[in-house]
Amino acid sequence: MKINQATIFPLSIPLIEPIKMAKELIVDAKTVLLCLTDEEGRQGWGEASVAPLMTGETLDSLLASLKYLVEKARSIEWSDPNLFAKSSDAVLYGNPSAKSCLEMALLDLYTQKHSISLWKYLRSLNTGAVLTELTEIPLLRMIGGAPEKEMADAKSFREAGFKHWKIKIGSLSLEEDLRRVQLLSDLLEGDIISVDANGAMSLDDALHFCISPQARKLSFAEQLISADSSVNDFALLKARSPIAIGLDESIHGSAEIMELMKANALNGASLKLIKTGGVMEAWSCAQILRKNNLQLNLACKVAETSLSGAATASIGFAVGDVPWGFSMSNQYLRFDICDQPLTAQRGHLYLAQLNATGVGVTPNMDRVKDAVAQGYSIIQY
List of residues contacting Mg ion (CB under 5 A):
196, 222, 248
Give the CA count within 13 Å in the CB-facing half-sphere of 148: 0
Cα(174)–Cα(328) distance, rounded to whole angstroms?
Answer: 28
Strand residue runs (E) in the chain:
3-20, 25-38, 43-49, 136-138, 140-143, 164-168, 192-196, 220-222, 244-247, 268-271, 295-299, 326-327, 348-350, 379-380
Cα(360)–Cα(118) distance, rounded to whole angstroms?
Answer: 7
Cβ proximity of 77 and 110 under 8 Å: no
Residue 39 Cβ vs Mg ion, minimum distance, rounded to whole Å: 40
Compare residues 248 and 256 and give the one whose CB is closer to Mg ion.
248
Residue 245 Cβ vs Mg ion, minimum distance, rounded to whole Å: 13
Compare residues 102 and 215 and give the one whose CB is closer to Mg ion.
215
Residue 160 Cβ vs Mg ion, minimum distance, rounded to whole Å: 23
Compare residues 302 and 368 and give the one whose CB is closer to Mg ion.
302
Residue 220 Cβ vs Mg ion, minimum distance, rounded to whole Å: 11
Cα(378)–Cα(10) distance, rounded to whole angstroms?
Answer: 7
Cβ proximity of 166 and 140 under 8 Å: yes
Beta pairing, strands 136-138 & 348-350:
antiparallel
Cβ proximity of 35 and 45 under 8 Å: yes
- Is 323 exposed, middle or buried, given 0-12, 13-18 or 19+ CB atoms closer than 10 A? middle
Residue 270 Cβ vs Mg ion, minimum distance, rounded to whole Å: 5
Neighbour tally for 347: CB within 10 Å: 20
- Is 343 exposed, middle or buried, given 0-12, 13-18 or 19+ CB atoms closer than 10 A? middle
Residue 22 Cβ vs Mg ion, minimum distance, rounded to whole Å: 10
The DSSP call for residue 179 is: H
Compare residues 177 and 222 and give the one whose CB is closer to Mg ion.
222
Compare residues 222 and 336 and give the one whose CB is closer to Mg ion.
222
Residue 53 Cβ vs Mg ion, minimum distance, rounded to whole Å: 11
The DSSP call for residue 262 is: H
Compare residues 123 and 252 and give the one whose CB is closer to Mg ion.
252
Compare residues 109 and 142 and give the one whose CB is closer to Mg ion.
142
Residue 272 Cβ vs Mg ion, minimum distance, rounded to whole Å: 8
Write the DSSP assignment of 51-103 as a string of letters. BTTTT-B-HHHHHHHHHHHHHHHTTS----GGGHHHHHHHH-SS-HHHHHHHH
Compare residues 3 and 224 and give the one whose CB is closer to Mg ion.
224
Residue 18 Cβ vs Mg ion, minimum distance, rounded to whole Å: 17
Residue 252 Cβ vs Mg ion, minimum distance, rounded to whole Å: 13
Give SS3 for 285: helix
C-beta nearest to Mg ion: residue: 248
Residue 226: φ, ψ to 5°: -60, 145
Compare residues 191 and 222 and give the one whose CB is closer to Mg ion.
222
Compare residues 65 and 198 and give the one whose CB is closer to Mg ion.
198
Q: What angle do CA 374, 375, 381 make, to 5 degrees?
A: 105
Residue 125: φ, ψ to 5°: -85, -10
